[in-house]
Amino acid sequence: MRELVAVHIIVTMILVLIVSGCDFGKAETPGKRVLEAMELIRAGKPKELEDYVLKEDAPGAGFLYGLLSPAFTEQGGITKIEVESQKINGESASIKVRWYYKNGGSAHETFPLKREDGKWQIDL
């Protein structure tokens, strides 16, 4: 009986190690995808932004960059960008993002997303 308990404990420990090493906590979420896009805008990389919008909207990525880039440089720049809310409904989502200015102010925007080829993409 003791051997059976020891085997059970060892098997449980192995399973815990396997599961903890998996990528479960790193799965792409719509909120994470929007934050990555916002960091591209913040870094001045409009071309890379095309990979974060729906394929049909890729030409509009420059418009999104042009719209938000000045907002990110206003009031001394941005200190932090965060997801305020994330609503997922099947293959679509709505993400509210807030950014904080160095002068203490903040602004927000809500982005619609859709799944395309397994990735969450901003729907312009």
End-to-end Cα spacing for the chain: 63
Phi/psi for 103 (5° steps) reads -85, 0
pTM of the model: 0.75
The pLDDT assigned to 23 comes to: 39
pLDDT in tens, 94-106: 999 999 999 999 9
The pLDDT assigned to 79 comes to: 92
Phi/psi for 22 (5° steps) reads -75, 175
HSE toward the beta carbon, residue 47, CA cutoff 13 A: 0
The pLDDT assigned to 83 comes to: 97
Measure the CA–CA gap between 100 and 80, rounded to whole angstroms: 5
The pLDDT assigned to 4 comes to: 52
Q: What average pLDDT does the structure give for the chain? A: 84
Residue bearing tokens 């404990």: 9
pLDDT in tens, 63-76: 999 988 898 887 88
CATH numbers and ranges of domains, the chain: 26-122 (3.10.450.50)
The pLDDT assigned to 112 comes to: 98
